[in-house]
Structure 1
Amino acid sequence: EIIGSDWFKIFFKPDIYDEMDKVWRDAWGAKSHSYVNPIRAKNGDEKFISWQTTGMYDDADGTNHLMLCIGEDITKRKQMEVALRESEEKYRLLIENQTDLVVKVDVEGKFQFISPSYCEMFGKTQEELLDKKFMPLVHKDDQEITAKAMEALYHPPYTAFVEQRAMTKDGWRWLAWMDTAVLDENKNVVAIIGVGRDINDRKRAEKALKKKQDDMRGILDASLETIVLIDCQGMVITANRTTCERLKTKKEDFIGHCIYDFFSPEVAEKRRRKWEEVFVSGNPVTFEDSREELFFEQSAYPVFGDGDRVEKVAVFARDTTERKQAEKKLRESEEKLARSKKMESLGLMAGGIAHDLNNILSGIVSYPELLLMTLPENSPLRKPIKTIKESGLRAADVVSDLLTVARGIAAGKEVRSLNVLIEEYLGSFEHKKVTEMCPSVIFKTEFDSGLLNVNCSSIHIQKSMMNLVANASEAIEGSGTVIISTANRYLDEPLKGYEDICIGEYAVLSVSDDGLGISSEDLERVFEPFYTKKVMGRSGTGLGLTVVWNTVQDHEGYINVKSNENGTIFELYFPVTREAVNAEKEKISLKNYLGHGEKILVVDDEENQRDIACGLLTSLGYTAEAVSSGQEAIEYVKERPVDLIVLDMIMAKGINGYETYEEIIKIHPGQKAIIASGFAETEDVKSAQKLGAGKYIKKPYTIEKIGLAVKEELEG
């Protein structure tokens, strides 16, 4: 089919006849020739043949008569070349139209290829960049991290990622590069291809987001509330500064850890239940709890993820410790105020009762003295009259308790040792009575031999001691021990029940017992008047500890009470003095306070008090007269001067003693006077003394009491 046939018609398509004709002529005109042309196979397929032709010359005239053609089928190679060209074209189009940056550099960092997008961003041509190093375009602060990324390309997996700033035509911009090493057959790096992207807007957004996050963090950290975000396992996602400070931990040691590990088992379990309730219900929960003597108001809010599922819980905890303490202090202050008002009311009542009782007792105490002065020593009436007098004096002591409740100690103060006062009490009739009532109780003393002295009212200190010892004895069921002790103490911090104290040295009188103790409820009320747990009719009026309280208050001291099932101890703190104890006074003889006819005016609104006072003064050798009101006294002295006035401070009608004395000294400046009252020493008494009045004496009158006061004032 081929031999003898037309070459062109068999192998070539008509549309290339002209082209092949020219090629053929060139081949005939040369000794040898090479060319490639497509041919059509018998089945119609197109094949590419690479031809090598050689002319066969006639020896005679040198003309080609034949052509030797050797052809090689290169169809596959041609197809591969076409595919390669198409691939290159596609790659070129891809690179040229790529918005990402594409570069190829050699191992020295010199550009071998630069995409148009790179040239556009940097405002340079390929010619300006080729064979130039890329590093000078990188910001100096980012060159080190870029160099480290390049070093990583020399090790598997031969890739690296780096973010850097580069100097573009628009200034410094952030670029992110994904670099890949090009390896030869020996896995040596021969080049690096980098694909970069402009992330400047992202970096700006990240910076703005970071600023917002920092601002939010600052706000959260400035909050005094605990703020923490946890997941359903209790793992801490984030927390503010206050949270870590309260838990005494660092953020890095807290975030990412289980929050329940930072609480005691009891607190952790309670909070777990409450917070899990939020995860389950999807509703906020608010509750109060405490930890290590701190109180918190907790609020937990759900943070929803996809759908309605709670993914996290935001916990806010406000420290309410100060508020709780303030509320407690307010309650205590209100209770203290209520007790104070109650004490004030009871004090006023007690004071009024005491005033009236003292006036009544004056006759029982004073008249027996007058009778005893007139009776012979062997009179059978002396004993019953003395009994009447002693009974009156004991009744006066009870009234004195009422006056102490009324917050007034009429007795003067003197420098004494508590040790001596205790010894005197232990030898008294009152203590003997206690020992008889409680025979199975042992009484011990523990004295501080170096105890400092106190400036005190001896009678009230001993009365307080008597009340404490009596209570301690009666608190013991069966046998037991009561210890009376003294000690020097330096106070520099408040005692329980006192917001502040006067820092300094104190002599402490303690009375302790090993009885059953006082309940916390009773302990709050033991100093209230008439609050008693004693069996009715056994002993006590309910005023004992109230007297103790007021005595300590009037001495500017403090009381500390501790009690449990093993017993109770009362500690009385009295400010010390460095003064020496006053020399013991000898009993004064009656003749030392007798008068010599001096004229004395008694001013009192109670007739029996006027009679008693005048009777006592007359028996002492004075000339005594009496009036029933202050106004009468003023009119009296206008006409008849007197040597001394015995002035009742509280009078029901008209002006009181202070006002009376104030008017009298206008008439007779320097008028001598002593003040008498069945009530406690009041501010009016002190005011009158500032005007010049002398000693204050408390009713009921006794001949020694009124005699000494009058004598002292007249001779003063």
Structure 2
Amino acid sequence: MTPRFSYQPIVLALLATLVLAGLFYLPYLSVRTKTIDAFYTQQMLLAQQAGSGLQSYFATYTKALTYLSEQGAIKTMEDSGKALLLDFFSIHTEDISNIQRIDANGASLFTFPEDTTVQGESAHCLRTLDAQTPLVSDVIAHRGAKERIFFSIPVLREERFDGCLSLSLPYARIANRYLNQIPMHDEGYVLLFSRSGTILHAPDTSFIGREGSHLHGPQEDIALLRSRIAAQEQTLVRLRTDPIGGGPRADGAVFAVVYPVSLPGDNSWSIVLVTPAQKVLGAMAAFRSQWLVVTGLAVVSVGLLSFFLSGNLAKRREEQRLQAMKEQLAGLLDLAPMGVFLLDPRGVVVYANQEAKRLVTDTTEAVVAGRPLIDFLHRSCRPAVAAQIKDSIAGQAVQVEAAQLLTASGSLRDVVITATPYQIGSLQQCILIVRDVSAERKSAAWQRRLAAAVDQVKEAVLIVDDQGIIEYANVALGEMTGYSRGECGGQPARMLWAREQDAHFDQKFEDVVKLGEVWRGRIVNQRKDGSLFVAAATVSPVRDTMGAITHYVLVQRDITHEVEIDARMRQAQKMEAIGTLAGGIAHDFNNILGGIIGFTDMALLQCAPGTELHSNLLHIRQGGKRAADLVQQILTFSRQSAEEKSPVVVAALIQESLKLMRATLPATIDIKQELWENTAKVMAAPVQIQQIVMNLCANAFYSMKEKGGRLTLRLRRKRAAELGKTGDHEAGDWLALVVEDTGQGMENETLQRIFTPFFTTKKPGEGTGMGLSVVHGIVRDLGGEITVRSQPEEGTVFTVLLPLVDQEPHGELLSGEGPLLTGTEHVLVVDDEKEIRETCRMMLGHLGYAVTTSGSPLEVLALLDRAQPPVDLVITDQTMPKMTGLDLTEEIRRLHPEIPVILCTGYSDRLNYDIAREAGACDLLMKPVDLRGLSAAVRSALDMSN
């Protein structure tokens, strides 16, 4: 192996050389800094001398102009004032080109000597008029005229501005006197800038009057110079190129010393002394060149020496590295969790690591080298493994999946062997990697048994990832939903869920699952064929070793049948509660109605027929009877006891049901009845027919609640042949109940599912989805059929077909109108309600009977013993405090068997005609009792006893 060259010594040597070179360079930097500081001090003194001269120059003329501007003759420009100005001009004619007096409006009052260029220059004068303070202008040049500077002083008359007094100063004379006299290097020069950055003086006159942005060089350098000038700073600026350009210094760096000069009127100029950097640092160039040569020679010498030393060092380190690598490789192989064998061409073990020794001898101390590998293999796999090892030695990589090692203790290990050819020089060898898979195969077998067990359970089992994607589904899921494993795999678990879920199901489910808790509840699922079923589900999180949730296990069981039974039980309990409530209300309400109807009957007997009062009383009596009928209908509908089917008149039950529902409907819904078969009978319990009618009508009302509409109920007879029914069991006539509405209608997709339990199109809390399912079950139980026809926005038509029967209804009572039956016997009325006692007393008295009343059943027996004349009949209420009517009847029968008893009740679920007769009563009257019914019952009881 070629020794790896080491650059570390070379790098260290070069770094040391560079550090020494840097130390040698520090004195150079110190001298350079001091040279620049000395240059700056010298240039600043020169600029300061020139600046002082300019300030003195303008100060002299400031005093002179101030004096002149205060003279009255000059303010009024009288002849003496003009003469004074001419004298002043003649004295200073060498420094002044022109003198001028301007009024407050900018018009010239005096100019000497006459000069059109001066007359035309008004910008400076206007600025003086605006500022009304002493003002020095920039350098101004006109075509054909020399460059000049205007210096103006405001003239005040009576403390008001009255124009200005202005001097025109030749710029060349000022520059020669103060700027051109500054001693500069051969290639240095002087620049003069106004406060606004305008160039006032430059060696190249083409720059005069231009903005500083026209200077040459990088923009950031020019911007830096201009900012220092604007700030009136005394400073040294290093520019990378000559700002004027041209000459040998055009591409070299320059130093610019900036010195501000204050002028009258809050104005200022800046003197800039520009000197090439090579002129300032020329003496340092030789030192720097010598330093670079010495440093370069040192770097080359050290580099060559380090190169040779590094070569020898690298060779020695490579030898040490190879030796360490061999030791590390052996150590690493011993730490490897898999067995490693090195075989020679004969299949004899040359090397085995610690794990390899443990696999074949159960210990890491045994000597394995020198033995053939097949000695450690089970006899069943030796031929196959030996052949594949031979192929590997020949140069082919192979893998043996089914192999077993026989350990020294006689136990077997399942292993996977990977054989790879390995060549050292001309010697062809083979490396074997042996991995113990005994535990893996046991685990795999256990997992197969577990999967088989999960497939055998009847509950559906799903495993989904943390995104809800199905990764596993057992056989029961396919049986439950109709989806195969292939159809479920890779799909979201929500594909199995129906849209019809409990209110807030999604939110509740997500809240529990996100917290990593076990969720238990019901899920409405949808089979592949679209049908729905309810499942009791449990969703449990699966966590990895770090505690993070990676999967969820969902186990669910079909509980549709249980839910239906539970719903029916709840409905039964609800109806039982309604019945109990209705019974309690009925008892008290019938007592109230008894008083109303009884007193009304008595009032009717006391007024002449045909009068308005008689008509009003008839209306009151009719209302009371309707109220009594309504109570009876409520009691009938709330019955939950199992009733035997009997022939019932459907039309009458439909009318009763509609009476119950009419009061709850809005006026926008019109009900139309076409009950042509008003005597047709079917074999059913009355409550079943009422449930069919009320559930179908409730759905119709819901579809029309927003816009209103019309509900039509038709009852017709249909022939079997007309319906296409030809079977023996279908022969005979059928009764067709048609419920038609003009509501919003339904789509075909909804029609396919309306009879499915728990399917509803209503909002949460408005329906259970069981109404039509119950109707379907009742119709099927009665041997009938139900069909539906609907279109969106065209309404819905339900048709129920039930087989007709010819039997007569049981318990049909006939009544007629006849004369009131009277008598003169003594009647005892027992009731805890005072109004009922008074009503009975009045009605029986009207019929001719002698009446005694009592509010306590406990005193009745004593009354019977001492009554004069003797009591001939007892009328008692059933529900009374301390003793019921049945108990009282039994006591009367025991002590006075000759006295007949009539029982009355507003409602009692434990009292009927048979029970009353068994207790000894001769009749049972249901409250409210009218006069005619009371007269018939009393006369019948007395006649029977006689």
Structure number with higher relative contact order (C-alpha < 8 Å, ≥ 6 residues apart): 1
TM-score (norm 1): 0.47
Larger Rg: 2
